[in-house]
Structure 1
Amino acid sequence: MFDFTPATSEAARLLEGVREDHFTALTPCDKWRVAELLDHLAGLCLAFTAAAGKTSPSTGASSPGDWREQLQHRLATLAEAWTHPTAWEGTTEAGGVTMPGRTCAVVALDEVVVHSWDLAVATGQEVVVHPPVAATLHGFWSARDDTGAELPRRAEIFGHPVAVPVTAPVFDQVLGLTGRDPLWRAASLSRG
């Protein structure tokens, strides 16, 4: 087991720096603007919270104007859901994929941390990724199966890996493995 709180707290902190004029800004995810990335983050919180409880995801209550508080609440709920040992046991399902609970936890962590980076660079912020979190994600993405073959990289979701020097920081290597260029920055950020 590991603690989700450093990752979810960092994502919640980054939300404070997102302004409505950022909503149309490009992100490192080719198909998403910031608003779409925020929607995805909200949805994945529900999906992986349900996966921890071995239940079906709820749609979650929402009300206009409080998107930031709702998403911060969902992040905190996600972290709390994975504090229960039963979340890590047996199998569970998220996004239509059945997997061991332990694997699902790492996938959830990956989603939160990598999309936090996406959000940070799209909005001109810096993300803090704790070394144990980066090491967990690096181990997941660089894992090989028993035959020595690389595990699927989910290129259809994250994109093909980007070459990053082995001397680069561990989280930069994770970004490369998830199809991101660690040097990506928004072409222009609106300032207000």
Structure 2
Amino acid sequence: MKAISELLRATTARALPVVRAVTADKLTAPTPCPEYDVRALINHLLHVVVNFQALAAKKDSDFSTTPDRTAGDDWQALFADETSRLVEAWAAPGAEEGTTGSLGLPARTVGFMVLGDLTVHAWDLARATGRRYDPDPDVVAELGPAVEAMAPMAREWGAFGEAVRVPADASVFARVLATTGRDPGWSPR
């Protein structure tokens, strides 16, 4: 069992090239998340990354509004900086212990929530922009059981859609995507 910070570092390393490759003309492209285009998904993901830094420090989070952080030219650098801060926050002593913020959930569960968001939304962005995204195998191995365990709560909160059926021989990551309500074969066409 790896530390959340190690898993986040591995996911960030794979997500950053996808985010850096998003061009202005792709910001209005659809994503596998029907409620988000690329711009809205990036803003959502940045908002998640910032709020889960606070949750790692056992502080409250504020998901009430999502600011537009893509308005300037430096949002990709901002994403790199904020994900680096996220990794640092979850590497701090005690970050994985006890309960976290107003969510009142075990800290490690909350860590897997942000790991799932970052991993799955990197795939969403890659699909939406025609990029390749291969998640870290160690991340997927640990994320699979965590996503399965969180699925009922995540569906109740509206964070996951209904599970999508996949073949019995689907990869672990395809099953993670399907559990979150995504079609692993989704294409913008």
Instruction: Give the TM-score normalised by structure 1.
Output: 0.86
More helix by share: 2
Q: Distance in 1 between matches of 2:104 and 2:124?
A: 26
How many corresponding residue pairs? 179
Q: Root-mean-square deviation (CA), in Å?
A: 2.1
8 Å contact kept, 2:96–2:111: yes
8 Å contact kept, 1:9–1:75: no
When residues 121 and 13 of structure 1 are mapped into structure 2, their CA distance, relative to the original with a 3 A threshold, is: same
- Give CA deviations for 1:157-176 in whole Å, capped at 9, x if unaligned: 22100011221110000000
8 Å contact kept, 2:144–2:176: yes
Q: Distance in 2 between matches of 1:44 and 1:77?
A: 12
Moved more, 62-71 or 100-109: 62-71
- For residue 80 of structure 2, what is the aligned residue in structure 1? 72
State the one-letter code of the partner of 1:158: F
Q: CA deviation at 1:142?
A: 2.4
- For residue 120 of structure 1, what is the aligned residue in structure 2? 126
When residues 14 and 5 of structure 1 are mapped into structure 2, their CA distance, relative to the original with a 3 A threshold, is: same
Task: Report 1 or 2 for greater relative contact order, CA contacts < 8 Å, sequence distance ≥ 6.
Answer: 2
Q: Greater Rg, structure 1 or structure 2?
A: 1
Q: Distance in 1 between matches of 2:36 and 2:127?
A: 13
8 Å contact kept, 2:20–2:76: yes
8 Å contact kept, 1:166–1:173: no
Structure 1 regions of 5+ residues with no counterpart? 145-149, 188-192
Q: Distance in 2 between matches of 1:66 and 1:98?
A: 34
Structure 2 regions of 5+ residues with no counterpart? none
Query: Pick from 133, 154, 159: which aligns with 2:139?
Result: 133
State the one-letter code of the partner of 1:50: A
8 Å contact kept, 1:141–1:177: yes
Q: CA deviation at 1:86?
A: 0.7
Q: CA deviation at 1:57?
A: 4.8
Give 3-state SS (helix, strand or coil) of 1:87's partner.
coil
- Give CA deviations for 1:63-91 in whole Å, capped at 9, x if unaligned: 83211111111111111111123110111
Give 3-state SS (helix, strand or coil) of 2:104's partner.
strand
Q: Distance in 2 between matches of 1:97 and 1:54?
A: 10
Please list, as runs of the form range in 1=range in 2, the aligned pairs for 1:26-105 lying within 5 A after superposition.
26-57=30-61, 64-93=72-101, 97-105=103-111
Please list, as runs of the form range in 1=range in 2, the aligned pairs for 1:142-161 lying within 5 A after superposition.
142-143=148-149, 151-154=152-155, 156-161=158-163
Instruction: Give the TM-score normalised by structure 2.
Output: 0.87
Q: Stretches of 4+ moved more than 3 A in 1?
A: 56-60, 150-153
- For residue 9 of structure 1, what is the aligned residue in structure 2? 13
Q: Distance in 2 between matches of 1:165 and 1:135?
A: 18
